[in-house]
Amino acid sequence: MKIAITGATGQLGRLVVNKLKSKVPADQIVVLVRTPAKAADLGVTAREADYTQPDTLERALSGVETLLLISSNEVGQRAEQHRNVIEAAKKAGVRWIVYTSMIHADTSAIKMLSGDHLDTEADLKASGLPYTILRNGWYTENYTASAPGAVAGGALLGCAGGGKISSAARADYAEAAVAVLTSEGHKGKTYELAGDNAYTLSDLAAEISRQTGKAIPYKDLSEAEYAAALAGFGFPAPVAQLYASFDTGAALGSLFEDGHQLSRLIGHPTTPLATSVADALKP
């Protein structure tokens, strides 16, 4: 049984491949990438595939039974790209697609991201192929990446207010994907995946303060102010606005989930915030 993984050279994809190799023989794993040379270090078969070129997708999926469709990172273009993959999978005879969607995609206030995912979920359901939807919550690394800058600047900036964030480490989501790919009983299911213990950005600032011994407060801004601050740090204006909208979504509860489906899938608690902060603060 061959398992294919799209986006395998991305941060999540690499973790999935390396974890999957501990569960199934490497010769049963195929990675679909635009540049196979970049996947040479993964130790599995790499096939050239481009989301925008359907003929490459069908060739790359030849002989594949199970496909992990890791969502593209091209916001606004993803629905069409994913649709190309799903159509190619049908033509190639793929028997099951597992898709990495977004937490609460159907109710999220973060519309700039959820729309693409909802479209892909609908395409999967209409495809006639068995599917599983992994609605991944936020990566803790999305927030802890700001820790060194917060220490340098003396404050953690954001516009999430007191919104609770149920994030988990990227490795936790990779482990969940592997658990689903290598076990039974998941077809037709949608999982809302999130960390066990929610936190606010004030909690994150307090943890950074605890670990560094420095007083690092959380400074809550308006969405416009935070977008302007990010632009001042060098983010292109559209990206700064997008990132600020994530915090606004958090303030509205879009990143909170307490169903503990992630820890149940992986069989252990999700990575604690303190561990992720410590990793981010390593020199």
Q: CATH code at 200?
A: 3.90.25.10
Proportion of the chain above pLDDT 70, given as a percent: 100
Instruction: Tell me what pLDDT residue 120 has.
Output: 98
**Residue closest to 206 by CA, chosen among 251, 148, 156:** 156
pTM (two decimals)? 0.96
Q: Give the end-to-end CA distance of the chain in Å, rounded to a whole number.
A: 42
Same domain (yes/no): 117, 158: no
Of 114, 135, 156, which closes a domain? 135
Q: Is the pLDDT of residue 193 over 90?
A: yes
- Residue 75: the pLDDT is 86
**Pair 6, 121 in one domain:** yes
Residues 212-233 pLDDT 10s: 999 999 999 999 999 999 999 9
* % the chain with pLDDT above 90: 96
- Do residues 176 and 193 touch, judged by C-beta distance below 8 A? yes
CB 105 within 8 A of CB 136: no
Does 177 map to a domain? Answer: no
Q: Do 205 and 117 reside in the same domain of the chain?
A: no
DSSP assignments along the chain, one per residue: -EEEEESTTSHHHHHHHHHHTTTS-GGGEEEEES-GGGGGGG-SEEEE-BTTBHHHHHHHTTTEEEEEEPPPS-TTTHHHHHHHHHHHHHHHT--EEEEEEETTTTT-S-HHHHHHHHHHHHHHHHH-S-EEEEEE--BHHHHHTTHHHHHHHTSEEES-TT--B--B-HHHHHHHHHHHHTSSS-TT-EEEE--SS-B-HHHHHHHHHHHHTS---EEE--HHHHHHHHHHTT--HHHHHHHHHHHHHHHTTTT-----HHHHHHTSPPPPHHHHHHHHH--
- Answer whether residue 257 shows pLDDT above 90: yes
Tell me the pLDDT tens digit for each residue of 243-256. Answer: 999 999 999 999 99
Q: What is the pLDDT of residue 76?
A: 84
Supply the pLDDT for residue 1: 78
Q: Residue 239, Cα to own-chain centre: how many angstroms?
A: 17
CA distance 223 to 12: 28
Determine the structural domain holding residue 10 and report its residue range: 2-135
pLDDT of 275: 98
Residues 113, 26, single domain; the answer is: yes
pLDDT in tens, 73-132: 888 889 999 999 999 999 999 999 999 999 999 999 999 899 999 999 999 999 999 999
**Both tokens assigned to 97:** 């697609």
What is the band of 281 on the pLDDT scale with cuts at 50, 70, 90?
A: very high
pLDDT of residue 200: 98
**183 located within any domain:** no
Last residue in a domain, options 135, 150, 180: 135
Per-residue pLDDT averaged across 26-32, rounded?
97
Looking at the structure, tell me whether residues 29 and 127 fall in a common domain. Answer: yes
Decide if 108 contacts 114 (C-beta within 8 A). yes
Domain closes at, from 94, 116, 135: 135
What's the mean per-residue pLDDT of the chain? 96
Rounded to an integer, the average pLDDT of 141-150 is 96
Do 130 and 225 reside in the same domain of the chain?
no
Can you tell me which residue has the tokens 């992986």? 266
- Residues 206 and 107 occupy one common structural domain: no
